Amino acid sequence: MASGEPSPGGGAARRPLHSAQAVDVASASNFRAFELLHLHLDLRAEFGPPGPGVGSRGLSGTAVLDLRCLEPEGAVELRLDSHPCLEVTAAALRRERPGSEEPPAEPVSFYTQPFSHYGQALCVSFPQPCSAAERLQVLLTYRVGEGPGVCWLAPEQTAGKKKPFVYTQGQAVLNRAFFPCFDTPAVKYKYSALIEVPDGFTAVMSASTWEKRGPNKFFFQMCQPIPSYLIALAIGDLVSAEVGPRLHEDDTLYILKISKPRLWSRVWAEPCLIDAAKEEYNGVIEEFLATGEKLFGPYVWGRYDLLFMPPSFPFGGMENPCLTFVTPCLLAGDRSLADVIIHEISHSWFGNLVTNANWGEFWLNEGFTMYAQRRISTILFGVDPDDTYNETPYEKGFCFVSYLAHLVGDQDQFDNFLKAYVHEFKFQSILADDFLDFYLEYFPELKKKRVDIIPGFEFDRWLNTPGWPPYLPDLSPGDSLMKPAEELAQLWAAEELDMKAIEAVAISPWKTYQLVYFLDKILQKSPLPPGNVKKLGETYPSISNARNAELRLRWGQIVLKNDHQEDFWKVKEFLHNQGKQKYTLPLYHAMMGGSEVAQTLAKETFESTASQLHSNVVNYVQQIVAPKGS
C-alpha cells in the first residue's frame, strides 16, 4: 500500500482559502500570529491516587513549541489554549541569535486569563518583541493531574482490572487540558513525544512511528501535520498483535525480496482482550484501507492500528491518526460492527487529511466521512448496512454530499472528484465555501447551470437552514432487507398476538443491522399492549440476552419504554459494563422519562457508575438526572 505521499502542504498552495480568514471562537489563542512548526512533548506518567496531594497521578514534563512569527509588525506575546488543570511552573524562550549554534533558553514570565468553562489562555510574554519571520522556541514546564483532557482509570475500571490506565481524548476542545497549544483545527503541525511510564506499562500515541527507548520510555514521531485534537496518548497494560497485511500464500511461497513493506496493522489491547481483538479484525483492515485508497487516493499515514479502550471510553471510535481508539463493544464476535472501523478509516481522508477549520464546520469532517464510509461498504458488501446513527452533521451532511453526487449524475465522476478534493486540500483545514468553490470549478457545467441557487436546493439553504434535508439519497436497495423486519414489528404491536404468523418468521438468519432495525420499529411502536414485550423477550432470547452492544442498547430502550421491570437489571448491567456516550445518554433519558422505579434506577446507576465515566459524559448525565435549576 502506498504511503508517504508528497510533502505536507504539497497539495494546494495555489488556492487562497476562505479558511485563511476564518475565526475560531472556541480558541483563546493568537494562532494567526505564528506558524507552529513542531511540538515536542516530554512527559512522565505516574499512577497514584487521584490528586491533589503528593504522589497523586499525573503527567509532568515539558511541552516545546517551535514557532515562526507571522505578524508583519512582530509580536510581544504568545497566547496558547490551556486549562486550569494544567499547572505551568516555568516558561522559557530560545531565540535565534546570529552566530550562536544553540542559543540558551531564557526564563520568561507568563500569566493566565479566563476564557470559558472549557479552557483558559496561557500568555507567554517576550522580553523583547519578536520580529516578523523570526523563529523561536517556547519551552513550558507543567503538570496535569485530574481534568477533562487526561482520563485516569483505576484498575477496576479496566477490562483486566489489574492495572490502572490513562488516555486522552482531544476532540473537540479537550487537548488544551492535556498540553498548552493552539487548540484549533485551523492549525496543523508535526509532533514528537517522549513518554516515560512506570515498570510494566506501555504507551501508545497517534503517531507514525513508535519506538521503545529503554525499559520505560517510548518515543513517537508524527511525520505529517495534524491538528491538535488528533494528538492522543494511552498508557496501560497493553499488548499488541499483528492483523495485517494478510500475506497471500503466493507471496510467502514465491517472494524473493521483500522490497517496501506494505502497510502493517496491529491491534492493541489489554492482554485479556487481545485474542478476541485479533480474531475479530485479522485481515479485514487491509481490505477497508485498500478500498479507501482506490476511492480517495493514497493513504498517507503509514500505519493503521486499532486500540481497544477500557469500557468507559465514551465513543464508538475516535479517528486518532495511525491509531484509532475504539470501544471494546466492537468485540461483538460477529464482525457486525465493522462499520465503525470503516467510518474511522474514512476519516483518514476526510477529517484527518482535509479538516474542518473550526467546529462550526464539523459536518465537513463527519458528513464526508459518512459518505466515504458508505461508499466503502457499498463496494465491499453491496447493500449499505449502516442505519444506526443519526445526527445532523453526520446524516444531513451525508445527504448533502449525496445530493452533490446526484447533481453530477455519474458515480465514477463523483468518485474522481472526491479523490481530487482530498488531493487539493490535504494537510489543510477548510471551510464549506472552500469545498463548494472547488466543486463548482471541478464541474464547470454545473457552475454554469448555477446549481448553487436552484430554488429549494440552494447550497446556502443546505448549510444554513434547519430542517429536513431537501434531497434524500435513494436507499431503496435496502428495502427488501428491511421490509420483513418492519412487518414482524407490526405483528408484535397487535393487541392480540398472532403467534402463528410470528413464529413463521425465522429471525436467526437475520444480520445484526436487520435486528437493530426491527428493534427500532418496536421502539417506535412502544409502549406495546401489556404482556407483549415479555413475550417478545421470551421468544427471542438472542435479542433479550444479546451481548452485542447495539442490541443491548435497544433492548434496554424497549424495556424502559414499556416499563418491563423484570429486565431493568439488564439496563443497569449494560451501563455498568461500558460508558459510550451514545448508549449512555439515551438510556438515562428513557429512565428519567419512565416510571418512578425507572427514575430510581437512573439515580442509583449513575451514583455507582459516575466515577468510571468520562467527565463530559458525567456532565451530560447529570443534566438528565438532575437538571440544573430544577
User: Which residue number, 395 or 433, has a Cβ lying nearer to Zn ion?
Assistant: 395
- Shortest Å, Cβ 5 to ligand BES: 22
Shortest spacing between CB 169 and Zn ion, in angstroms: 13
Candidates 347, 423, 552, 554; binder of ligand BES (CB under 6 A) is: 347
User: Which residue number, 395 or 458, has a Cβ lying nearer to Zn ion?
Assistant: 395
Residue 340 near ligand BES by CB under 6 A = yes
Kindly tell me which of 66 and 366 has the beta carbon lying closer to ligand BES. Answer: 366
Q: Which is nearer to ligand BES, 237 or 344 (CB)?
A: 344
Whether 314 has a binding-site annotation, put simply, is: yes
Nearest to 38, CA basis, from 303, 220, 174, 234: 220
- Which residue, 369 or 526, is less far from Zn ion as judged by CB? 369
With the C-alpha atoms ordered 547, 549, 554, 558, is the resulting torsion angle positive or negative?
positive
Q: Which of the choices ligand BES, Zn ion, none does residue 316 contact, using the CB cut-off of 5 to 8 A by kind?
A: ligand BES
Q: Which residue is nearest to ligand BES (CB)?
A: 316
- CA–CA gap between residue 194 and residue 211 (Å, rounded): 10
Distance CA 288, CA 299 (A): 11
User: Least distance to Zn ion from the beta carbon of 167, Å?
Assistant: 18
Build a one-symbol-per-residue string for 397-436: x at contacts with ligand BES by CB under 6 A, - elsewhere: ----------------------------------------
Q: In DSSP terms, which residues pair with 92 in a beta bridge?
A: 107, 139
User: Which of the residues 534 through 593 are near ligand BES (CB under 6 A)?
Assistant: 582
* 201 annotated as ligand-binding: no
Nearer to ligand BES, 163 or 614 (CB): 614
> Under the criterion CB under 6 A, does residue 317 sit at the interface with ligand BES?
yes
**The only residue of 28, 122, 285, 318 in contact with ligand BES, by rule CB under 6 A:** 318
Q: Which stretch binds ligand BES (CB under 6 A): 151-159, 175-183, 312-320, 619-627?
A: 312-320
Interacting residue ranges for Zn ion, rule: CB under 5 A: 366, 369
Q: Which is nearer to ligand BES, 348 or 532 (CB)?
A: 348
Sole window of 189-197, 336-344, 413-421, 488-496 interacting with ligand BES (rule: CB under 6 A): 336-344
Secondary structure element (H or E) that encloses residue 129, with its range: strand 119-130
Q: For cell 463493544, name the residue.
A: 329
Written as nine digits, the cell of 33 is: 500570529
Active site (annotated) includes residue 134: no
Closest CA to 358 of 431, 466, 435: 431
- DSSP letter at 357 equals S
349: cell is 481522508
Catalytic annotation, pick one of 371, 394, 439, 540: 394
10 known ligand binder: no
Instruction: Kindly identify the residues of this chain, within the stretch 594-613, that bind ligand BES according to CB under 6 A.
Output: none
Clarify whether 394 is annotated catalytic: yes
Q: What angle do CA 346, 347, 353 make, to 5 degrees?
A: 120
Q: Is 400 helix (H, G, I), strand (E, B) or coil?
A: helix
- Nearest Cα neighbor of 428 from 367, 357, 512, 528 is 357
Q: Which helix (H) or strand (E) holds 222?
A: strand 217-226
Compute the distance between CA of residue 251 and CA of residue 570 in angstroms, rounded to an integer.
48
d(CA 78, CA 33): 8
Task: Determine, following the binding rule CB under 6 A, whether residue 315 of this chain makes contact with ligand BES.
Answer: yes
Q: Which of 404, 393, 337 minimizes the C-alpha distance to 370?
A: 393
Contact letters for ligand BES, residues 164-193 (x by CB under 6 A): -------xx---------------------
- From the CB of 59, what's the least distance to ligand BES, in Å? 21
**What type of residue sits at position 629?**
G
Catalytic residue among 344, 361, 424, 550: 344
Query: What is the SS3 assignment for 396?
Result: helix
- Kindly tell me which of 137 and 377 has the beta carbon lying closer to ligand BES: 377
**Which residue in 169, 442, 425 sits closest to 300, CA to CA?**
425
Instruction: Give the β-pairing of 305-308 and 323-326.
Output: parallel
Number of residues near ligand BES (by CB under 6 A): 15
Dist. CA 322–CA 208, nearest whole Å: 6
Q: Is 255 exposed, middle or buried (0-12, 13-18, 19+ CB in 10 A)?
A: exposed
Q: Return the range that interacts with ligand BES (CB under 6 A); candidates 49-57, 191-199, 315-323, 622-630.
A: 315-323
Our finding on whether 343 is near ligand BES (CB under 6 A) is yes
- Asked if residue 490 belongs to a known ligand binding site, the reply is no
Strand 34-46 and strand 58-69: the pairing is antiparallel
Bridge partners of 235, per DSSP, are: 166, 203
169 belongs to an annotated ligand binding site:
yes
**Site membership for ligand BES, residue 316 (CB under 6 A):** yes
Asked whether residue 16 is marked as a ligand-binding residue, the answer is no
Identity of residue 50: P
Total Cβ atoms within 10 A of residue 287 = 16
Distance of alpha carbon 128 from alpha carbon 541, whole angstroms: 73
Q: To which residue does cell 465491499 refer?
A: 380
Annotated binding site for a peptide: 169-171, 314-319, 580-582
Question: Which residues are identified as catalytic?
Answer: 344, 394
Annotated binding site for Zn(2+): 343, 347, 366
Annotated binding site: 169-171, 314-319, 343, 347, 366, 580-582
* Chain positions contacting ligand BES, by CB under 6 A: 171-172, 315-319, 339-340, 343-344, 347, 366, 389, 582
